[in-house]
Amino acid sequence: MPNYWFKSETVSMELGGRQLTIETGRLAKQAHGACVVTYGETTILATVTHGKPRAGIDFFPLTVDFVEKTSAAGKIPGGFFKREARLSDREVLVCRFIDRSIRPLFTDGYNDDTMVMVTVLSADGENSPDIPGFIGASCALAISEIPFLGPIAAVRLGRVDGELVVNPTKEQGAHSDLDLVVAGSREALVMVEGGADVVAEDDILAALQFGHKEVIRVIDTQEELQAKVGKPKLAPVTPRDISEIESKIRSQAGDRLDAASQIKEKKERSSAIKEIESEVIDGFMTAYRNEKVAFDSLEAVDARRDGEKQLRGDVKEILHDIRSECVRIRILVTGNRMDGRATSEIRQIACELRVVPRPHGVALFTRGETQALVTTTLGGKFDEQTIDSLTERASKPFYLHYNFPGYSTGEVRPNRGPGRREVGHGNLAERAIKAVLPDREDFPYTIRIVSETLESNGSSSMAAVCGGSLSLMDAGVPIKAPVAGIAMGLITDGKRTAVLSDILGDEDHIGDMDFKVAGTADGITALQMDIKIPSVDWDVMKKALAQAREGRLHILGCMASETAEELPAFAARGELSRYAPRVSSIVIKPDRIRDVIGPGGKVIRAIQETTGAKVDIDDTGIVTIFSPDGDALAQAQAMIEELTQEAELDRVYLGKVKRITDFGAFVEIFPGTDGLIHISHLAEGRVDKVTDVVAEGDEVLAKCIDIDPSGRIRLSRKEALADAESA
């Protein structure tokens, strides 16, 4: 190794049968914290930096980016500019997972602008860089001066042949019925995300407990490095004494906020709370501005402006805390929620199909004040989404897009494309539904689901799951089972605990856990969990899973009863929507592909131009034919079958004599395929000359009597005529 002037420190461990190495001190030394994590031949660089805190803001300005450099896999970016551009959906999903895991783990009062950047430097195609990236982000924060309450760690879990596997390889993942990424601290899990192939709740819980043990091992390794090179943490910010302000606000608005938070309808509740809070904020701002202050310098002006921002932020934070406190205490003491429901009660559900006429499949799913219009569109192989990842280029025949326009929450917000939230929610709903789709061989369609959130007050992503399941059945897609999803919440004060089913948006905001679970009546297909407190007891986790199952079964029952007339026995219609295109697949021998394509693509172009159908052939010989017209599809299929048909023993053909020789006649039994009728098989008795019986251009009956290993065909006119006479 080169003898650099600096010294690096390295720790390592075995994880999932491979070596995990964490190094610091060699790269990115001007960052406030930097780690290089290597797993197999996959390497990432994680850096963290922080800047000055902003005055008067009511959020923690944390940004997390995960960037996959194509050079890491020895590739050059596509496109005109040949450089990495906006983050891909996969990169966004990893950003979200890291962000949601670390965000609650910073010291109270820390409000600096903070940036976590994870860059993939090497990708071996076998070990995904997201887990090393997560570990690197945690370790970089742990060794920096940033007051981070970690380290934490993450592992991926699979299950192959009933055995749980840590960080499964690509081959193991292909045979796994479980794909979970779990993140946690030493005390408990803080984040779970993933999918499953209809796995029971008890098995999921066992996997989470298994994963937490592995997480602790990775934390041990990070702490080993932290002990060697960790910097002293920034001193916690001494909280300002705002007790006097809080006392005034409680006396002015405490009871009114408590009463307003009990209004059942979201719009009326939000309006009442906003009116109270605006009144309180305006009162404090007016009093502050009316204070007589001498501005003898620009610094004094700036300080006064910052003071106003800070006061506004303090008042807003106190109002938020009082409102949250009212709701939390009421739930823990009485069990009554903001809209009057019991903790396990689910809002009213309405399901409608075919609410608009032309989509292939469409469903309107409404649960309380959350509503999603979900459509299913069927396409051909040409409509598959191309995924150009670091290590491979693949086609995706099923994808779900989730949209969350501003009007769904009464906001004025222009549409500027999907944000990170939309990408994450869409991915969760896609995982939930993917497990029940028919096999590609049985249903060779590309499937696109789009969920438009029309109204939102709690878990619109789970509405996308329910509506997506219904829209698939409305389109006639033969799914294996209906899927429903539910969002669970948690309120605890350390002594009392309430698990909430079908949480509202406000309950999600003030709660201690957001736990989304989707699945069939038999098991889980997707889940996502965010924990906002240091730990959740395993018994509480078990209760949440059990309560989620009860809620899911209730929703499935509502979906069944609400659509009983449109979907008898809660099954797919059995036939496609009349607006859906038709797709068929046939299999030909790979060596006959050239016959369908023809020289320079001449034959396949002629088929498509003649019929109007689209034809796609892969290297294995699977021919997919796509057309909105069933007759055109049948015509194209018949043309391809004629081009690629094979001779069958004992079958009689009407062929045309193509060539005469002394020993027999060569007969074309179908385009491109000839067979020989030997002179001895032209007719009964002795034949002196072939031309005594047939001539070139004659149509003759010929029976296939032999096909030798090289594919040569022997025909018999004599046996064909004998069979015709006996019939």
Name the pLDDT band for 584 (thresholds 50, 70, 90). confident
Q: What is the DSSP string of 133-186?
A: HHHHHHHHHHHSSS-B----EEEEEEEETTEEEES--HHHHHT-SEEEEEEE-S
Q: Which residue, among 80, 89, 81, 85, has the nearest Cα to 69 in the 3D structure?
A: 85
Distances (CA, A) of 578 to 375, 475, 628: 15, 9, 9
Q: Which residue, among 396, 332, 361, 288, has the nearest Cα to 56 in the 3D structure?
A: 288
Name the pLDDT band for 566 (thresholds 50, 70, 90). low
Mean pLDDT over 135-143 rounds to 97
pLDDT for residue 688: 87
296-305, 334-343, 386-395 — most confident range: 334-343
> What pLDDT digit, counting tens, does each position of 594-625 carry?
888 988 889 999 999 999 889 888 888 888 89
CA dihedral 50, 54, 59, 60 (to 10 degrees): 10
Domain definitions of the chain by residue range:
9-229, 243-334, 349-490+533-569, 582-644, 652-726
pLDDT for residue 537: 86
Mean pLDDT over 214-233 rounds to 96
Mean pLDDT over 292-319 rounds to 79
pLDDT for residue 466: 97
Half-sphere exposure for 420 (CA within 13 Å, toward CB): 16
CA dihedral 488, 493, 495, 501 (to 10 degrees): -10
Is pLDDT at 199 greater than 90 in this prediction?
yes
Domains 9-229 and 349-490+533-569 agree in fold: yes
Residue with tokens 């005469």: 660
Distances (CA, A) of 547 to 61, 335, 525: 35, 15, 16
pLDDT for residue 295: 63
Mean pLDDT over 714-726 rounds to 88
CATH number at 349-490+533-569: 3.30.230.70
Quote helix, strand, coil % in the chain, to nearest 5: 35, 30, 35
Is pLDDT at 3 greater than 60 in this prediction?
no
pLDDT for residue 209: 95
For residues 332 and 519, what is the distance between their CA atoms, to the nearest angstrom? 29
652-726 CATH choice from 2.40.50.140, 2.40.40.20, 3.30.70.990, 3.90.550.10? 2.40.50.140
Does domain 243-334 bear CATH number 1.10.10.400? yes
β-strand pairing of 497-501 with 446-455: unpaired
> What pLDDT digit, counting tens, does each position of 417-438 carry?
889 999 999 999 999 999 999 9
For residues 526 and 454, what is the distance between their CA atoms, to the nearest angstrom? 23
Is pLDDT at 164 greater than 90 in this prediction?
yes
Q: Please, which residues have CB within 8 angstroms of residue 166's CB and are 6 or more apart in sequence?
A: 15, 16, 155, 156, 157, 211, 214
User: What is the architecture, at CATH level 2, of domain 582-644?
Assistant: 2-Layer Sandwich (3.30)
pLDDT for residue 568: 47
Which of 122-131, 279-288, 303-312, 583-592 is the least confident region?
A: 303-312
Is pLDDT at 567 greater than 80 in this prediction?
no
Q: Which residue has the higher pLDDT, 711 or 373?
A: 373
Note the helical H segments in 457-504: 460-475
- Compute the radius of gyration of the chain from its Cα atoms: 34
Average pLDDT taken over every residue of the chain: 89
For residues 601 and 595, what is the distance between their CA atoms, to the nearest angstrom? 10
For residues 504 and 502, what is the distance between their CA atoms, to the nearest angstrom? 7
Task: Copy the structure tokens of residue 712.
Answer: 């040569």
Is pLDDT at 165 greater than 80 in this prediction?
yes
Name the pLDDT band for 571 (thresholds 50, 70, 90). very low
What is the pTM assigned to this prediction? 0.86
Angle at 379 between CA 558 and CA 629, to 5 degrees: 110
Share of the chain above pLDDT 70, in %: 97
Is pLDDT at 296 greater than 70 in this prediction?
no
- Fold (topology level) of 9-229: Ribosomal Protein S5; domain 2 (3.30.230)
